[in-house]
Amino acid sequence: MEDNPLHAHFTKLRNYCIQVVYTYDAITNQDFHMQLFTSLTSQYAMILMVLKHSRPLPRPEEAMHNVLEKETTVSLTNELGEAST
């Protein structure tokens, strides 16, 4: 999972939040959601649509977990499909 570009992207986002948490530049959950929702490619459109319309919005950690989980599911499904052909 460490080689995963999406995992690396989320790690960078988390690190930015941690670095500025106790400053005037602290990143709000709303700002974090905006970055998360606008920085992912179209292959995540469906899961992002679900997350955006969830009320209340999931915490950033939950949203990132859900996206990573969806990516893993799609990857496993693709591998099973390739193995069956």
Q: Render each residue's pLDDT in the chain as its tens digit; 85 residues.
A: 456 888 888 888 889 888 988 888 888 888 888 888 888 888 888 888 888 888 888 888 998 898 899 888 877 777 767 766 6
- Return the structure tokens found at 45: 């459109």
Domain boundaries, the chain: 5-84
With 0.85 as the threshold, say if the pTM is over it.
no
- Given this model, what pLDDT does residue 62 score? 92
Q: Label residue 56 left, alpha or beta by phi (over 0 means left) and psi (-120 to 50 means alpha).
A: beta
User: How many CA atoms lie within 13 Å of 37's alpha carbon, on the beta-carbon side?
Assistant: 18
- C-alpha–C-alpha distance, residues 32 and 29, integer Å: 5
- Given this model, what pLDDT does residue 84 score? 67
